[in-house]
Amino acid sequence: MTDILISEVGPRDGLQSIDRVMPLEAKKAWIAAEAAAGVREIEVGSFVPPKLLPQMADTAKLVAFAKEIDRLAIVTLVPNAKGAELAVAAGVDAMSIPFSMSETHSIKNVRKDHPAMLEEIAKAATIAKDAGVHFAVGLSTAFGCTLEGAVSEEQVVRLAQKAAEAGAQEFSLSDTTGYADPAQVRRLTRKVKAAVGDDMLTTLHLHNTRGLGLANVVAGLEEGITTFDASLGGLGGCPFAPGASGNLVTEDLVLMLNSMGCKTGVDLEKLLQVRSIVEDALPGEPLYGFTPDAGPMLDYNQRIAG
Q: Please identify which of the residues 56, 238, 268, 277 carries the catalytic annotation.
A: 238
Write the DSSP assignment of 213-268 as a string of letters. Answer: HHHHHHHHHHTT--EEEEBGGG--B-TTSTT-B-BPBHHHHHHHHHHTT-B----H
Q: What is the Cα–Cα distance from 126 to 95, expressed in whole angstroms?
A: 12
Cβ pair 98, 59 in contact under 8 A: no
| 262 tagged catalytic | no
Burial grade of 122 (CB within 10 A; 0-12, 13-18, 19 or more):
middle
Q: What is the Cα–Cα distance from 148 to 179, expressed in whole angstroms?
A: 13
Cβ pair 186, 223 in contact under 8 A: yes
Q: What is the Cα–Cα distance from 237 to 208, expressed in whole angstroms?
A: 10
Phi, psi at 65, each rounded to 5°: -65, -50
**Distance, C-alpha 270 to centroid of its chain:** 21
> What CA–CA distances, in Å, run from 252 to 12, 54, 292, 295, 297?
19, 29, 8, 10, 11
Q: What is the Cα–Cα distance from 235 to 230, expressed in whole angstroms?
A: 9
Q: What is the Cα–Cα distance from 156 to 184, expressed in whole angstroms?
A: 12
Cβ pair 75, 44 in contact under 8 A: yes
Instruction: Give the residue numbers annotated as catalytic, written as ranges.
Output: 238
